[in-house]
Amino acid sequence: MRVELEPLFAVLEPSRAEAVTFGPGGRLTPLAKCLAGRWYFVESVEPNPIEGVESCPLLEDMPRVSEVWQKEGEGWVAKKNAEGKYQGRNGYEARRLLRKVGTWIHHYPTAVTPEDLYIIAERVGPAPKTKRAVFAILGSFLDSKGNRVVQRSHVKDRYPNRAMNTPVIDRDARDKISNGAQGIERVILALLGCGRRPVEIRRAMLSDLHLRDPVPWIGVRKKGGHGDPNGRMALNSSVIAELAWWLPLRATWAARSSDDTGHLVCRQDGSRLVGVSIQYLRRAKDAAARRAGVGHYPLYAFRRGAATLAFELTGNWDDVAEVLQDSDSSVVRGYVQSLLVQRRAPGVMELLAVRPPVGAL
C-alpha cells in the first residue's frame, strides 16, 4: 500500500514517484539510500533492514515547501524588478503572496495542481477582483517555472469581475468639458477623449510623436514606461489641433528651463519642466468640468466612453481593441455592453439584439 509523505511535503506527480523501502524505526535500506535526490512514495516496510543504515539523508536534506516558495518567489520578483515591473508596493505584495502560498499548499511550484489553485482561492478572500489579481501574479510566477496550471485550468474564468457602474460619458458631455478647458487642460482632455489611459498620458514623451508621417501617430507606453513605446495610436484632428498651439508654447518654456524631462504633458516646477501626476490630470479635468457646468466623471469614463462610441459606430470588437490599444478585445467587451445597456440607446439596443451575446464572441 502506498502512503504519501504529506508531512514531509514529498508529493509530486505519480509519474516521477519511485518506490522506497523502509525498515523498522523508519530506517532506509540501501535501495532507498541510492535513490537520494528525488521524491518518493513509501512502498512497504522491510522486516530485516541491513545493519548500519540508521538515518535517512534524503528526508533530512529535503527543503520545506514554504522555504522553496519564499526563496524562488523573492528571486522571481527581483528579476521582474530589473525589468521595471513589480516595483515598490507591488513587489512587496507579490513577495508576500508567494510566501503565504508556500504555507497554504504542500506542493512545490513545479508541481502545483488545479486543486491547489482552489485552495488558494478560498484563502485570499471572497472578492473576484482580488482572486483574479492573485492568479495573475501566480500564473506569471508558475509559468516561469514551466508550470502553466493557471492558464490550462482557466481558473480565472470562475471569478469574473463585477459589472462596472462607471457613468457613460457621451459625446455631448465630453465636448462641453473640452470647451470649458483652458491651456494644458485642452491637450489632456483631447488625449482622454481618444481613449488613452491616464497613465499613458503622463508617460507620453515628445519623442513619441510622429507628426510628419502620412497618418500622424503617437507611441503608447502601456507597461512600465521604460524604453521604447509598445503601442501606437493614430492622432485625430482634435489632438492635432491642440498640439498645434501647445508644442510651440512648450518649446518656449523649455528654452527658459534649466532642465526638461521631455514629457509631452508637463508643468513648470521652478526652473524645470517636469512630468505630471495622475492627480494633476484629475484636477485639470475637474476644473474644466466645473467651468462647463457638467457633473463629475472619473478619468476612466473618457476611455470607456471612447470604447462605447467605437462600438456604436462599427459594431466590431476588434475596432474597439484597436482604439484602446488592448491586445485582446475581450478586455473591454464586458463593460462596453453593460454601459450601452445602461444608456438604453435605441439604436444600440437594436444592434445588440441582432449580435451574438458577448460571452459567445
Label each residue of 21-57 as H, E or C: EECHHHCECHHHHCCCCCCEEEEEECCCCCCCCCCCH
Q: How confident is the model at residue 35 (pLDDT cuts 50, 70, 90)?
A: very low
Task: Say which amino acid occupies 238.
Answer: S
3-state secondary structure 121-171: HHHCCCCHHHHHHHHHHHHHHHHHCCCCHHHHHCHHHHCCCCCCCCCCCCH
Q: How confident is the model at residue 164 (pLDDT cuts 50, 70, 90)?
A: low
State the greatest distance between any 2 C-alpha atoms of the chain, in Å, as a whole number.
93
Task: For cell 509519474, name the residue.
Answer: 15
Task: For cell 462596472, name the residue.
Answer: 164
Measured distance CA(321)–CA(307) in Å, rounded = 8
Q: How many beta carbons lie within 10 A of that of residue 99, not counting itself?
A: 16
Task: State pLDDT tens for residues 105-155.
Answer: 988 999 999 999 999 998 988 888 888 889 989 999 999 999 999 988 888
- Are 113 and 149 within 8 A, CB to CB? yes
Q: How confident is the model at residue 18 (pLDDT cuts 50, 70, 90)?
A: very low
Residue 98 has pLDDT above 80, yes or no: yes
Task: For cell 535501495, name the residue.
Answer: 31
Measured distance CA(136)–CA(289) in Å, rounded = 36
Residue 27 has pLDDT above 50, yes or no: no
Buried-state track 231-252, b at ≥16 Cβ within 10 A, e below 16: eebebeebbeebbeebeeebee
Residue 224, pLDDT score: 54
Residue 334, pLDDT score: 60
Residues pairing with 267 in the sheet: 274
Query: DSSP state, 272?
Result: E
Q: How many beta carbons lie within 10 A of that of residue 41, not counting itself?
A: 17
- Among residues 164, 229, 239, which one has the least CA distance to residue 200? 229
Task: State pLDDT tens for residues 264-320.
Answer: 999 998 889 999 999 999 999 999 999 999 988 899 888 888 888 888 787 787 778
Ranges 74-83, 121-130, 164-173: which has the least confidence: 164-173
The three cell numbers locating residue 148: 502553466
Cα→Cα distances 38→71, 74, 138, 289, 301, Å: 20, 24, 25, 66, 55
Query: DSSP state, 232?
Result: E
- Half-sphere exposure for 357 (CA within 13 Å, toward CB): 2
Ranges 60-64, 170-174, 227-231, 254-258: which has the least confidence: 60-64
Instruction: Quote the mean pLDDT of the chain.
Output: 75
Total-model pTM: 0.55
The three cell numbers locating residue 145: 517555472
Angle among Cα 116, 121, 122 to the nearest 5 degrees reads 100
Measured distance CA(118)–CA(249) in Å, rounded = 56
